[in-house]
Each structure stands twice: as C-alpha cells, then as structure tokens.
Amino acid sequence: MIPAPPEGASVLFNPPPGWAAPAGFDPRRGHLVDPAWPSAPEGWAFWLPDASAGREHAALPSTTLRPTQAEARSVRLRNRLIVVGAVVVVVGIGLAAWAGLASSSNQPGAGSCWGGSSEWLHEVPCSSAEADYVAVGRTASPDECPYTSDTYLDLGDAILCLEPN
Amino acid sequence: MIIIWGWRAIRKVLGSGRFFCPQCGGDTDYKHLALRRWFTIFFIPIIPLKDLGTCVECSRCRTAFTERVLDVTTLEVFAHHQGLANRAVVAHLVSLSPPVDDTTVGEGLLALASAPGVRDGYDGEALSADVSFFADPGAVAAYLRPIAAEMTIEGREEFLRRMIVLVARLPHAGPSAGLAIEHVAAALAVSPAHLAGIRQHVQSGAPAAGGDL
Ligand SMILES: [Zn+2]
C-alpha cells in the first residue's frame, strides 16, 4: 500500500527496489502497481522532494531604453553600485523616459531579429550569428504576447514579443 | 542617471514529471509552472503585476498546455497497464478452469505471448502467482479500468478476441469463463452485440486485424 504524499508538497514518486516502474509512473495519476513487484522495505520513503520545484526567472528582462554600447557599459558598472531608492520616484522618471522614446521608435515588426548583450538588444540581420531572438508578434500590451515570449521590447506605441531564435 | 526598468515573467516551478506531449507525439519531461509578470527596476522584481495562471510546459518543444494534458497517460505507462490488463484477464480465466495444471498454464502463456506490454521472461511461475491474485473479479475490474478509456475500438476487439480464443482452448472452461468474457467486454464498453460479432469472427477462423493498442 502506497501512502498518500504530504499535503501541498512538491514531491516525486520514489519506487522501491525491484519495482520495474515505467518512466512517469505516479500513483497519484491512477497508475497501478504490478502485483508481482516485491514489498517495499520497512519505512521506505515513497515520496521525495521534487528538486526542480522553486523559482525560475525569465531569460532576459525587457527595457524601453536602448543606449549606445558605451552607455550600456557605463550603466552596467553603475548598476552594481546603485541601490534601488524610492520606487515612486524611479517609476516617475522611467515613465518620462518611456514617453520620450516612444516618439522616436522605429517600429520594427514581427520576423525581425535581435541580438546584443544580456542587457541591451539591437536589431540584427536574421542571418547573423548575433540573432539570438526573433520577434513573433507586435501587440498593444506585454500580456498579449504568447506565453513562450517572456522577453519583449517596448517600442513606445507597441510591444514587440520576442522568442529565442 | 539611466534607469533600467521593465517587466519580466517570473516562473515558479510547482512540480515536474513525465507526460505524453501532443505536440512532440511522444513521452517527454514536463514542468508544471505558475507564472506572474513583475515590474522590475534594474532587473529586480519590485511590483507583482498580472497573474498569468498555471500551465504545463514540455521540456522538449516548450509548448505550454493546460493541466488537462496530464490526464493522458504516457506511452510507457499505457504499455504497463496493457500488460497488467492482459495478465489479469488471462489469469482470471485460467482460475475459472480448474485444475490449474501445466496444460492450463501453458495455454495462458500462449495467449500472453502475443499480448502487448507483457515483459519478456514472464513464465509459468509468474502466471501461477497472477492466478492467485486475479481469481478475484474485483481485482480484474480494477486492472481493466485504466486502459478502458484509452484503448481504440480495434484494440478492444483484439483484446477480447485473444481471450475468446483462450477460453476455447482451455480444456475445462465452463460457463463461468464465458460469463467472465462478458464482464470484461462490459468493462471495456463493448456492447453484447459487438461481443457476439467478435465471437462469430473468431469461430469463423478469420485472421485478427492487428495489434490491440
Ligand atoms: Zn513537446
């Protein structure tokens, strides 16, 4: 008899020795034990913590600012020194910068390719080795991007949804 | 000062496992994810924004599905259940045709030789142990249940054809064995008329159409 897993915990089924359980065997999904399998050793831990459970971050953040390479290097240096201050003030400045950039955006479309550093992206030919991302859609809001596109560029008047190329 | 700000989707892994990916058409690993967009400043998540819900993501093709995709068993687990169901019914029919001797066990092994999902090396000793376990009709019903919903019509027909042939070959099979076949057909959602047709097909000596997937 297999005991129920701990309530609310992320666990994986741990078959006892001698159980030829197929990959993906999980009694919680109604999978049946072969009556020929031997009894589990006394006190066997049928459920082990799922090591993959936890938090994962998106591969790349998006940003409305695309500075020159020199500026980007400078920003990266300063990023390491700056402690995030008053959130409201920062958001206000950011919004102003966004609004300013919106009027000068060049509005690339779906199918365009993007590459660059881990912090700033620029448009590159799709045949280029630098083309790490491909735009898969242009939407009004990040929430309308397909799920697989958790990276995007804000063009000011539209969102360009990106996926790994 | 240049401010770097934006959004990012943060994924929390709720669990992982193996599933049948409809996009890849095979068994592969999955992650069960909860997603939420955060407003970030200097790449640090500051404000939680829209809750994007949960999904099951294929680790191979990265397609996201709803949790209902986990209702379908993997090919490996289906084969495991197929083998168990075949063993259960064969062992039950042998138990209904006493005495359980070399002849009846031999006929049972012959029936299982062509059954999918039964491991290599399954022998008379293993079948005798199954006969004890699956003499109980309740145990047979429990081991038929997982495949009943996922087997094709052709698969059900082939499964029943195998059992009808076995009953015909067992030297001491009585009416109870024939009745047991009717219960198996009902468990597989095969109507009495359909079962009569399969019986007629077996008696006519027509060859089987194919495997019982
Ligand atoms: Zn897939």
Q: pLDDT by residue (tens digit) across A72-88?
A: 454 455 555 444 544 55
Interface mutation vs chain B, best among A150, A151, A162, most B CBs within 10 Å: A150
Cβ-nearest to A147 among B18, B50, B55: B55
Q: Given an 8 Å threshold on Cβ–Cβ distance, is B3 in contact with A65? A: yes
Structural domain includes residue A107: no
* Cα dihedral A32, A36, A41, A43 in deg (nearest 10): 30
Instruction: State pLDDT tens for residues A117-164.
Output: 545 577 888 998 888 888 888 888 776 777 666 677 767 677 788 887
Please, what are the domains in chain B? 5-71 (no CATH), 75-203 (1.10.3680)
Q: Which of A57-71, A114-128, B118-132, B160-174 has the lowest mean pLDDT?
A: A57-71
pLDDT band at A64 (very low <50, low <70, confident <90, very high): very low
Nearest to B27 among A23, A35, A64 (CB): A23
| % of chain A residues with pLDDT over 70 | 59
Which has the higher per-residue pLDDT, A132 or B5?
A132
Whether residue A120 is contained in a domain is answered as: yes
Residue A49 in domain: yes
Contact A136, A110 (CB under 8 A): yes
**Helical packing angle, B75-95 and B153-169, nearest 10°:** 30
pLDDT digits (tens, 9 = 90+) for A98-116: 544 444 445 678 888 887 6
Instruction: Please say which residue of A60, A75, A100 terminates a domain.
Output: A60
The answer to whether residue A70 is domain-embedded is no
User: Model confidence at A60, in pLDDT bands (50, 70, 90)?
Assistant: very low
Examine residue A90 and state whether it is found in any structural domain, yes or no.
no
Q: How many angstroms separate the CA atoms of B11 and B2, rounded?
A: 28
Give yes or no for A35 touching B (CB within 8 A): yes
Is A37 inside a domain boundary?
A: yes
Structural domain count, chain A = 2
Confirm whether A52 is domain-assigned: yes
Give the structural domain span for A126.
113-164
Instruction: Inspect the interface and report whether the beta carbons of B15 and A53 lie closer than 8 Å.
Output: yes
Q: Tell me which residues of chain B, numbers 11 to 70, contact chain A at a CB-CB cutoff of 8 Å.
A: 11-19, 27, 31, 33, 35, 37, 39-44, 46-47, 50, 52, 55, 62-64, 70
Q: Partners of B51 in the beta sheet? A: B36
Which residue type is seen at B130? D
Across the interface, which of B9, B46, B62 has its CB nearest the CB of A58? B9
Q: Do A34 and B2 touch (CB under 8 A)?
A: no
Taking the CA of residue B77 and the nearest CA in chain A, the distance in Å comes to 6
Does the beta-carbon distance from A84 to B41 stay under 8 Å?
yes
pLDDT band at A61 (very low <50, low <70, confident <90, very high): very low
Task: Give residue-wise pLDDT tens across range A34-56.
Answer: 999 999 999 999 999 988 887 66
Distance CA A89, CA B168 (A): 86
Task: Write out the E strands in chain A.
Answer: 11-13, 47-49, 54-56, 113-116, 121-124, 133-139, 151-154, 159-164
From chain A, pick out residues whose CB is under 8 angstroms from the CB of B1.
78, 82, 93
Mean pLDDT of B117-146: 96
A151 within some domain: yes
